């Protein structure tokens, strides 16, 4: 993975430029969000319940003018005893 591509996942949310974001329907608030404002609002809201977390990109697929990224996320919720 190119170094510059991996760093995008370590940037503050306001610096990301995303056109859409999809979470599984089983996740709280899961669904697809479109446009920078919707994506940023969803990610900011969803991170509020994290005591800690990390994400690492695992796979990149270039599809025309889009890049699809599969990300492995590890999270410990704030109300978790672990």
pLDDT, one tens digit per residue, over 12-65 is 555 556 788 888 888 878 899 998 889 888 888 888 888 888 888 899 999 888
pLDDT at residue number 82: 67
pLDDT at residue number 11: 52
Burial label, 61 (beta-carbon count in 10 A; 0-12, 13-18, 19+):
exposed
67 within a domain of the structure (yes/no): yes
34 within a domain of the structure (yes/no): yes
The total number of structural domains that make up the chain:
1
66 within a domain of the structure (yes/no): yes
More confident residue, 6 or 16: 16
Domain with 42, as residue range(s), is: 3-77
| pLDDT for 5 beyond 50 | no
pLDDT at residue number 32: 93
């Amino acid at each position: 993975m190119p170094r510059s591509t991996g760093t995008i996942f370590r940037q503050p949310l306001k610096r990301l430029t995303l056109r859409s974001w999809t979470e599984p329907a089983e996740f709280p608030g899961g669904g697809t969000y479109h446009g920078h404002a919707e994506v940023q609002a969803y990610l900011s809201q969803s991170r509020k319940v994290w005591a800690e977390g990390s994400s690492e990109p695992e796979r990149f697929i270039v599809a025309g003018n889009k890049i699809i990224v599969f990300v492995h996320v590890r999270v410990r919720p704030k109300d978790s005893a672990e």
